[in-house]
């Protein structure tokens, strides 16, 4: 599969854009697509930053612009990452065996833990984006969104099993080498230096904490659910974006 086919597959998986991937998708194709997930994250981040800039420039209040930007990201990603967050939190909140947790995650409903997680993530992201807009940190907005997709690469590293019955998880789990994940983390940390010009140390710290928190959460979910799945990856994305946006919005 060519690099162009890999990015098309990544876009078709991670966004709602009408981009068609290759007709045949095997683990080799999945490996290339997941390795390019941060590129798609950068595109989504650019859209988020542009949306926030346009809304505030048109006279919208920063909190309203932040909320609309979060909604736009949800639309661009089919809401599947937020759905993964809510399903995963409901599974964690069940306190049952892995089989029961996976059953709850596949039920299609949203329980109290899922609702609380959605409210918290959407609220924090909206207010953090608002603060970043007030500070004129447009690059930080894009970086926060892209960092969530760096976590996807780390979550699909070799040695991570797929949860029983997980279709997408079985396709992508264990496909990424540690070097690929490390390379993307280094890129994100380097970009963090530019995210908060007045305090160049703040960006790398915010990105490092975001990646660490999301990676820890993903590892816990993998142990708790007996493996990885699309829901786990979606939860990792939203946790990372939430923490990164909050950290990058700090005043230093």
**Band (187; pLDDT cuts 50, 70, 90):** very high
Give the pLDDT score at 2: 58
Other CB atoms within a 10 A radius of the CB of residue 69 amount to 28
> Residue 25 — pLDDT band, cuts 50, 70, 90?
confident
pLDDT, tens digit, for every residue of 128-166? 999 999 999 999 999 999 999 999 999 999 999 999 988
- Residue 1 has what pLDDT? 54
> Which residues make Cβ contacts (< 8 Å) with residue 101, sequence separation at least 6?
91, 92, 94, 224, 225
Place 110 in a pLDDT band, splitting at 50, 70 and 90. confident
Q: How far apart are CA 2 and CA 15, in angstroms?
A: 20
The model's pTM is 0.94
- What DSSP letter does each residue of the chain carry, written as one string? --HHHHHHHHHHHHS-S-----S---HHHHHHHHHTHHHHHHHHHHHHHHHHHHHHHTT--HHHHHHHHHHHHHHHTTTHHHHHHHHHHHHHHT-S-HHHHHHHHTS----HHHHHHHHHHHHHHHHHHHHHHHHT-HHHHHHHHHHHHHHHHHHTBTTPPBPTT-HHHHHHTT-B-HHHHHHHHHHHHHHHHHHSTT-TTHHHHHHHHHHHHHHHHHHHHHHHHTSB-HHHHHHHHHHHHHHHHHHHT---
Percent pLDDT > 70 in the chain is 98
Which conformational region is residue 160 in: left (phi greater than 0), alpha (psi within -120 to 50 degrees), or beta? beta
Give the residue-averaged pLDDT of 86-90.
Answer: 96
| 45: nearest Cα among 194, 128, 124, 148 | 148
172 neighbors 25 (Cβ within 8 angstroms): no
Residue 165 has a pLDDT of 87
Q: What residues are paired with 162 via a beta bridge?
A: 228
pLDDT number for residue 6: 85
Whole-angstrom Cα distance, residue 159 to residue 143?
28
- Would you state the pLDDT for residue 96? 82
Give the pLDDT confidence score for residue 24 in this predicted structure.
81
Mean pLDDT of 211-234: 96
Residue 3 has pLDDT above 60, yes or no: no
If one compares 108 and 178, the residue with the highest pLDDT of the two is 178
Q: Residue 163: its pLDDT value, please?
A: 93
């Amino acid at each position: 599969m060519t690099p162009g086919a890999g990015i098309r597959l990544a876009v078709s998986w991670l966004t709602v854009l009408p981009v068609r991937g290759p007709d045949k998708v095997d683990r080799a194709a999945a490996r290339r697509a997941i390795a390019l997930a941060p590129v798609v994250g950068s595109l989504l981040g650019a859209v988020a930053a542009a949306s926030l800039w346009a809304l505030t420039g048109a006279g919208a209040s920063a909190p309203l612009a932040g909320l609309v930007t979060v909604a736009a990201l949800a639309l661009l990603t089919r809401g599947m990452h937020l759905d993964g967050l809510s399903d995963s939190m409901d599974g964690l909140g069940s306190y049952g065996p892995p089989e029961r947790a996976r059953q709850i995650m596949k039920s299609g409903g949203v329980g109290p833990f899922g609702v609380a997680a959605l409210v918290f993530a959407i609220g924090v992201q909206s207010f953090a984006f608002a603060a970043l807009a007030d500070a004129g940190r447009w690059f930080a907005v894009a970086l926060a969104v892209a960092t969530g997709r760096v976590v996807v690469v780390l979550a699909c590293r070799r040695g991570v099993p797929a949860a029983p019955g997980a279709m997408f998880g079985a396709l992508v789990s264990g496909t990424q080498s540690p070097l690929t994940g490390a390379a993307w983390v280094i890129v994100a940390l380097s970009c963090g230096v530019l995210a908060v010009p007045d305090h160049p140390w703040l960006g790398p710290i915010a990105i490092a904490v975001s990646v660490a928190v999301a990676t820890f959460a993903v590892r816990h979910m993998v142990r708790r659910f007996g493996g990885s799945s699309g829901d786990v990856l979606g939860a990792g994305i939203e946790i990372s974006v939430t923490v990164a946006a909050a950290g990058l919005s700090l005043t230093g």
